[in-house]
Amino acid sequence: MTAASLLFSCSIHVGVSHPKVAAKSSACCLLKQPWSHLMSKAPFGHSGILEKSKLSRKDDGILCSVGAVQVETAAPSFSLGQKFHLDDVIEAQQFDRETLNAIFEVARSMESIGSNSSGSQMLKGYLMATLFYEPSTRTRLSFESAMRRLGGDVLTTENAREFSSAAKGETLEDTIRTVEGYSDIIVMRHFESGAARRAAATASIPVINAGDGPGQHPTQALLDVYTIEREIGKLDGIKVGLVGDLANGRTVRSLAYLLAKYQGVKIYFVSPDVVNMKDDIKEYLTSKGVEWEESSDLMEVASKCDVVYQTRIQKERFGEKIDLYEAARGKYIVNQDVLKVMQKHAVVMHPLPRLDEITVDVDSDPRAAYFRQAKNGLYIRMALLKVLLLGW
């Protein structure tokens, strides 16, 4: 038998790939590290005959066979089931607590890859398209970094609102139908709430919501909760102060949805009157038994909380109502005075970018977690790309 006719087979026992991806992909074996690396060293390279075996669950982990060689790797510590199947990432409330724990476990495994300059090749051959209709630095770059660190490639447009066919009047649905022909997964930021859901309903490949107007930012919320767990050491029983533009802040809306998954959480809303948290979030928290309170006293809230989550007043959401923006801006600022009343274990978080709502002298305090928070976004997005394209 020649090398070119060798039959490689692999049974992956920790989940299945995204059905949209599976339908699009040619018959190939979805190999986790180090098998993708081993496969790249096979004598016949990518020209070999590959056969995807049926995927089944085994408690003893992953069993792969390459010719006569069998190697078994450790199983994940979480149990698997239908609930762990992700089609798209659209909104924070689509996740339950067990799924969050599983995503965080994958993210922790990504930290070693993220800190390794050589990265991984587990997503080699996959293409991610980033469609950003609004400005972004951290989200777009962290997704692109995540894809490249896992061996994948990126197709990107930074300002699709002006420099894509949307400027010519093309519908979002037509854009998605076109772009999915070039890629395996789409990461989209849009200026309209609900746009990500429309994209996911249209696409035959996974769609990740990277922010849809004042709607939601689920991957930010995932990295926020991941950061809180790593910084505070727990999620049950914590007190969180959400500060700033709560009416327009998609990050705080998504975070509130996720915090509702945990027990004994209390949320404080601190904001200027013109940007108070909207009633739908308050009603959702009440329906889930989450205690919340509105306050105008940042100092008092900061003294009680494990997390002070500061946000900027979003000028771009005010339109021509500049007077309202100016009235809201600068009312609540995290500075040294706020740090003095905060508990020693507490942290300051911010989704960034910041303007003047956190003074720069706060940066040197060990409780300033916002740059560590941004770094955690890389690991969470690596985890999501891996899970959506390869399965658990």
Handedness of CA 256, 261, 265, 266 (dihedral sign): positive
Given the residues 24, 97, 124, 138, the one annotated as active site: 138
- Residue 344 tokens read as 């020693």
Cβ-count burial of 388 within 10 angstroms (0-12 exposed, 13-18 middle, 19+ buried)? buried
Q: How far apart are CA 18 and CA 267, in angstroms?
A: 35
Establish whether 46 is a catalytic residue.
Answer: no
In sequence order, what are the beta bridge partners of 320?
Answer: none
Beta strand pairing call for 266-270 and 291-295: parallel
Is 108 annotated as catalytic? no
- Determine phi and psi for 179, rounding to 5 degrees: -65, -35
Q: Measuring CA to CA, which residue among 270, 228, 266 is closest to residue 372?
A: 228
Active site residue 138: yes
For the chain, how many helices (H) and strands (E)?
13, 13
d(CA 338, CA 356) in angstroms, rounded, equals 14
Does residue 68 come out as left (phi exceeding 0), alpha (psi in the -120 to 50 range) or beta? alpha
Catalytic-residue membership of 381: no
Task: Indicate the SS3 state at residue 301.
Answer: helix
User: Which of 18, 99, 130, 139 does the annotation list as catalytic?
Assistant: 139
CA-wise closest residue to 146 among 370, 380, 374: 380
245, 271 in Cβ contact below 8 A?
A: yes
Active-site entry in 189, 198, 253, 266: 189
311 is catalytic: no
Which helix (H) or strand (E) segment is 190 a member of? strand 185-190
Residues serving a catalytic function are 138-139, 168, 189, 217
